[in-house]
Structure 1
Amino acid sequence: MQVLPNLSNNEIAFSEEEKGNQLFPVFVKLNKLRTLLVGAGNIGLEKLTAIVNNSQKAKITIVAETITDDVYALIANFPQIKVKQKSFDVSDLNDVDIVFAATNNTILNEEIRKLTQANGLLINVADKPELCDFYLGSIVQKGDLKIAISTNGKSPTIAKRLKEILNEGIPAELDETLQNMSALRLTLKGDFSAKVKRLNKVTQNLISPKKSFAERNIRWLIWLTSILLLGVIGTTLWQTEPEFQTFLIHIDPLFYWFLGAGFLFALIDGAIGMSYGVTTASFSLAMGLPPASASMAIHISEVLSNGIAGWMHLKMGNVNWKLFKLLILPAIIGAVLGAYILSSLEHYSAYVKPIVAIYTFFLGAIILMKTFKIKKKKSDQKIKRIGLLGFVGGFIDAAFGGGWGSIVLSSLIAGGRHPLFSLGTVKISRFFIATLSSLTFFTMLGGKHWEAVLGLVIGSAIASPIAARVSNKISAKTIMVAVGIIVMLVSLRSIVLFILKLI
């Protein structure tokens, strides 16, 4: 016979009552209700902000002994909000429909809860789910469309993250569709069933949106472009470079160095979303490659690795196509221009090399700064000049051998863009940038240092599919510290050697 714990009837009733998610979602017209907010400190400000952001005409009475300047600043734009600077008493519940208790006094909050129950009023008590009759969910709003998210009081953080994903994933243009549907609804005739069928047919494209040719065939485009580019380069080298044939038979040990480097740097890039270009550029310069040849090797290897990474992000739905369209064309123009200029200066590589080393040293310092969060506060406003950002990022990436992720991805995230969608979009954009800049380099330079090119191509391609899994096992902060220090030391070595030659 099973022995039950000694629970009171109230405790048994409470556990049964709270079993599962018992919340019933509703949308309340606060502009037609009388709201009481008790507390006007930081907690009260948070509640007040949530209310007026969603119901600008809400009739609110604030009762508090102390009222912060931020609360006064907020209510200045809402003349219907009244303030009573005093202690709460039971008479404040007269002529009230709904109550928010937002003080840092636990005893007072519990007392308000008891009084509201006695008066038949609904109450929300800040940070006390067990005392609440209702919760404030995370809100996603696109015009007249409003989505509320609740976790039954279990994890507001999860609700916040879901809000960020939906805010980024739901296009603002959906409100225009909503208005058009409202206008269409007013023109429909017939019974309820006929109207529903007509509206369902019109909105079918929302769940099965028509995709462009590029979106439908991006996977095949990536693979076909990669195979054609590598095929053209391989065939050209075989026909024009006798040493290339010899290399395939008697592999230069340098190939293995670049094979390992490509694999390692691609894993690092997969873990932190950046640094493949800067780490590979630093390594290539240290191994004696001229800047233009180093950048060519880097970008040819990025075609396949970024094609694979971009395709994987595409399958996971991490690509923001609107952002991609704004980014891609200026980025390609910048990359081709950067590759052309750097290739034109190949004969002056002895002087270009220290400039590139200074740049990579600077990027290494930036990586360290990001690791320890020595940066500006994240902006609430999304970055607007996407085209200019793409052009600058593409140019610097090609001209200096790397920096696309460090510049573009960091700027997008710092400017308020969602990290996941920014990473996916930057990765798939980089595939096209690498392809066009590689063609420019190869046209200008021909087949040079192919042992480095092949090593990076194969190494990075092998690493790409497993980079995401490895990144979950290793601390990103540890990786960034190591990368920053190594890049700065290798770059500093190149700078010092150049100075010693001048002396």
Structure 2
Amino acid sequence: MRTLILFALVGLGAQLVDGSLGMGYGVTSTTLLLAVGASPAAASATAHLAEIGTNLASGVSHWRFGNVDWKVVWKVGVPGAVGAAAGATFLSSLDTSVAAPLMNSILLALGLYVLIRFTVRGLNRQNLGKPMRKRFLAPLGLFAGFIDATGGGGWGPVGTPAILASGRMEPRKVIGSIDTSEFLVSASASVAFLLALGSQGIELVWVLGLLAGGLVAAPIAAWLVRHVPPRLLGSGVGGIIVFTNTRSLFNAFEVADAVRWPVYAVVVIAWIGAVVYSWKQYRADTENESVEAAAKLEQERRDALVAQLSEQDESVGAGRPQAPRD
């Protein structure tokens, strides 16, 4: 029961992050599974089996809140399913001694990407509203699906920032569409893992725990996506992923304490600095948006007043008697 509760809490937190950021469930849950001793293939398979249910619940929740663009879901999700099947087959064929450091390295890279992406960069809104091209979404889905299956996560960290960077969709619709399309990716990867591994190394309690927590969090996350600052949440989660997988790699390669502890200190200090910086930038951005909104409202009021005065002048002028002509 204790294990079930632990994994339910992890699933709850992972889905809150994933549903709010459009990334993080697979990376977070797989990192934990590796930490408790699961093999890389079993960890990825367990996370993807749980994600089938959580992605379905998350997709329905995002759809109800109007956060889904179905054209994008199909254009990126179907190639993603193909890539996920290929990635699951590839990972299942690797020896554990090779697969574990490989997966930790992929997760570390994804964690760094999430940390830097949400700490440093803002959103490009210049192309907002322009259609997403299939020639962009199809290769993106294929690559993200492959990384997702081999790394135990990656669909969101690869797909969400790439679409956000295009500036063609509202952030909430990017997150909702990526979360919804991930159902296809998770289902495809799960089938491929089961065909390759059977049920070897997959603990039903782990799957049920992650699934239970994720199902509770899915509707909450779909609502929070409108309110939680993604920049701050991304910095926090990215730091956790970086620290955990750095530790796992050091353990795998038996790095000496004289090296690992200074590195841990640097990672933690950088992580805290990133969270503080993200919070300050979020506050600054919020204040700037408030000032811009107030200035826009004031200008609209002035324009309305000028238009009203002009109408009054025209009415007065029309009512005056015309002077007689000579």
1:421-469 Cα offsets, whole Å, 9 max, x none, are 3222212211121112112212222222222212111111121122234
1:261 Cα shift? 0.7
Partner Cα separation in structure 1 for residue 124 and residue 228 of structure 2:
26
Cα 1:468/1:386, change in 2 over 3 Å: closer
Partner Cα separation in structure 2 for residue 436 and residue 420 of structure 1:
25
1:475 Cα shift? 4.1
Q: 1:87-236 maps to which residues of 2 (within 5 A)? A: none
Look up the equivalent residue of 2:83 and give its one-letter code: G
> Partner residue of 1:389?
140
Larger radius of gyration: 1
The reply to whether residue 476 of structure 1 matches residue 225 of structure 2 is no
Look up the equivalent residue of 2:101 and give its one-letter code: P
The answer on whether the counterparts of 1:379 and 1:414 sit within 8 Å (CA) in structure 2 is: no
- Give TM-score scaled by structure 1 length: 0.46
> Partner residue of 1:360?
107
The answer on whether the counterparts of 1:339 and 1:441 sit within 8 Å (CA) in structure 2 is: yes
Moved more, 426-435 or 311-320: 311-320
Look up the equivalent residue of 1:260 and give its one-letter code: L
Look up the equivalent residue of 1:499 and give its one-letter code: F
1:283-320 Cα offsets, whole Å, 9 max, x none, are 11111111111111111111111101111222344332
Look up the equivalent residue of 2:188 and give its one-letter code: L
Cα 1:327/1:471, change in 2 over 3 Å: closer
> Partner residue of 1:234?
none
1:352-385 Cα offsets, whole Å, 9 max, x none, are 1111111111111111112222479677485642
The equivalent position to 1:370 in structure 2, one of 113, 117, 127, is: 117
The answer on whether the counterparts of 1:331 and 1:394 sit within 8 Å (CA) in structure 2 is: yes
> Partner residue of 1:487?
241
The DSSP-based 3-state class of the residue aligned with 1:500 is coil
The equivalent position to 1:450 in structure 2, one of 186, 204, 208, is: 204
> Partner residue of 1:436?
188
Partner Cα separation in structure 1 for residue 173 and residue 226 of structure 2:
18
> Partner residue of 2:53?
304
Look up the equivalent residue of 1:357 and give its one-letter code: N
* Greater relative contact order, per chain length (Cα 8 Å cut-off, separation 6+): 2
Q: 1:241-390 maps to which residues of 2 (within 5 A)? A: 251=1, 253-345=2-94, 348-374=95-121, 380=127, 384-390=135-141
Cα 1:327/1:480, change in 2 over 3 Å: closer
Look up the equivalent residue of 1:313 and give its one-letter code: H
1:480 Cα shift? 1.9
Look up the equivalent residue of 1:422 and give its one-letter code: V
1:496 Cα shift? 0.3
The answer on whether the counterparts of 1:267 and 1:471 sit within 8 Å (CA) in structure 2 is: no
> Partner residue of 2:175?
423
The DSSP-based 3-state class of the residue aligned with 2:67 is coil
The answer on whether the counterparts of 1:303 and 1:431 sit within 8 Å (CA) in structure 2 is: yes
Share of identical aligned residues, percent?
32
1:220-258 Cα offsets, whole Å, 9 max, x none, are xxxxxxxxxxxxxxxxxxxxxxxxxxxxxxx4x433321
Cα 1:420/1:477, change in 2 over 3 Å: closer
The reply to whether residue 407 of structure 1 matches residue 134 of structure 2 is no
Q: 1:2-21 maps to which residues of 2 (within 5 A)? A: none
Look up the equivalent residue of 1:311 and give its one-letter code: V
1:177-227 Cα offsets, whole Å, 9 max, x none, are xxxxxxxxxxxxxxxxxxxxxxxxxxxxxxxxxxxxxxxxxxxxxxxxxxx
Cα 1:468/1:311, change in 2 over 3 Å: closer
1:407 Cα shift? 0.8
Partner Cα separation in structure 1 for residue 47 and residue 196 of structure 2:
15
Look up the equivalent residue of 2:88 and give its one-letter code: A
Look up the equivalent residue of 2:206 and give its one-letter code: A
Partner Cα separation in structure 2 for residue 323 and residue 471 of structure 1:
19
Partner Cα separation in structure 2 for residue 378 and residue 344 of structure 1:
43
Aligned residue pair count: 249
State the Cα RMSD in Å: 2.3
Gaps of 5+ in 1: 1-250
Partner Cα separation in structure 2 for residue 390 and residue 476 of structure 1:
22
Partner Cα separation in structure 1 for residue 123 and residue 217 of structure 2:
33
The answer on whether the counterparts of 1:308 and 1:464 sit within 8 Å (CA) in structure 2 is: yes
Partner Cα separation in structure 2 for residue 360 and residue 300 of structure 1:
19
Partner Cα separation in structure 1 for residue 4 and residue 30 of structure 2:
16
The answer on whether the counterparts of 2:80 and 2:144 sit within 8 Å (CA) in structure 1 is: yes
- Give TM-score scaled by structure 2 length: 0.70
1:86-113 Cα offsets, whole Å, 9 max, x none, are xxxxxxxxxxxxxxxxxxxxxxxxxxxx
The answer on whether the counterparts of 2:62 and 2:222 sit within 8 Å (CA) in structure 1 is: no
